[in-house]
Amino acid sequence: MYVATLLTNPAAPSLDPALVESLRNAWGGGEAVWLSSDEAAEFALDVMPGNLWEVWADLQKLGVDLVVQRTEGRRKRMLLADMDSTMIEQECIDELADEAGVGAHVKDITARAMNGELDFEGALIERVGLLKGLDEAVIAKVLAERITLMPGGQELVATMRAGGGYAALVSGGFTAFTAKVAEVLGFDENRANTLLAEDGRLTGDVGRPILGREAKVEALGQITARLGISPADAIAVGDGANDLGMLGLAGTGVALHAKPSVAEQCDVRINHGNLTALLYLQGYAREDFIG
């Protein structure tokens, strides 16, 4: 058995009941269940539709995300999340670079690295090198003035943890940011790279080993083993090329507002919804949300 989930942007919910019914009838689906009025609905299917991606492309033009997945095991016991452009709306290194006066150059490198055009580790070393001499106090300034949470993140973490789930924030960014974001959102743990500093200023280097794509895969394996569950029991979310390993290994890997080259390698793509989409995909209704 499968389940088809349709959802839209919660800030401007526009899911037409007639659209849901039309697709349900075309695919021979079960009765539609509304998880949130005008925002998210689902229906059961006996088989995976052969024209899924053609329909998906048409719905994207209408501002609607569509995911079809197996019904069994879709409610997960662990959340593994990327931070930059996933749990927060910014790329932390880009914001630091702005403060250092090299914002445009670093932003270009970040975009190419996240799109898979550059080696992640090399790109990180190059970008951090451009921050050499920056006052360490700028980190707190950026956190206070530039960093905003991605909509739906607090509900996602709180709801999964209330249901007995475990939440881990694993980032190719920096511990100075993940520690704060994890605390605010209620994550159980966080992992990231360490910006090195001496005498109150950044040295232009980062601690080794560098946490990149493989480290995220390792984190998923290590944490699930510690919890006595398998990677299939986890839902992972990210947007960049360095997230593809964990997205592929997790039971449900969600490409959230991802770079096109990343999204096309994932079966679950959310381009219009926010982080609450991960709850709808697990069958939670809006009234089940915590926070």
| pLDDT tens column, 53-78 | 999 999 999 999 999 999 999 999 99
pLDDT above 90 coverage of the chain, percent? 96
Residue 188 CB coordination number (10 Å): 16
Helix (H) or strand (E) holding 193: strand 189-193
Residue 121 backbone phi and psi in degrees, to 5: -65, -45
pLDDT of residue 291: 83
Dist. CA 66–CA 64, nearest whole Å: 7
| The pLDDT of residue 19 | 98
What is the structure's pLDDT at 92? 96
Contacts of 254 (CB under 8 A, 6+ apart): 235, 236, 237, 238, 247, 266, 268, 269, 270, 277, 278, 281
Q: Find the helix or strand (DSSP H, E) in which 282 lies.
A: none
**pLDDT of the residue at 61:** 97
94 is catalytic: no
List pLDDT tens digits, range 160-183. 999 999 999 999 999 999 999 999
Q: Residue 53: enclosing H or E segment and its boundaries?
A: helix 52-60
Q: How far does the chain reach from its first CA to its final CA, in angstroms? A: 31
What pLDDT was estimated at residue 212?
87
Report d(CA 111, CA 269) in Å as an integer.
19
For the chain, what is the mean pLDDT?
A: 97
Domains and CATH numbers, the chain: 1-72 (3.30.70), 75-291 (3.40.50.1000)
Q: Which helix (H) or strand (E) holds 96?
A: helix 92-100
- pLDDT at site 35: 98
Catalytic residue from among 58, 65, 84, 239 = 84
User: pLDDT tens, 94-132?
Assistant: 999 999 999 999 999 999 999 889 999 999 999 999 999
pLDDT for 190: 98
Residue 197 has pLDDT above 90, yes or no: yes
pLDDT in tens, 223-239: 999 999 999 999 999 99
pLDDT at site 243: 96
Residue-wise pLDDT for 253-277, tens only, equals: 999 999 888 999 999 999 999 999 9
Per the residue annotation, which of 38, 46, 82, 188 is the catalytic one? 82
Closest CA to 66 of 267, 217, 287: 267
Contact of 119 with 272, CB cutoff 8 Å: no
Q: How far apart are CA 69 and CA 279, in angstroms?
A: 14
pLDDT score, position 25: 98
DSSP letter at 140 equals: H
Query: Is position 82 annotated as part of the catalytic site?
Result: yes
* pTM reported for the whole predicted model: 0.96
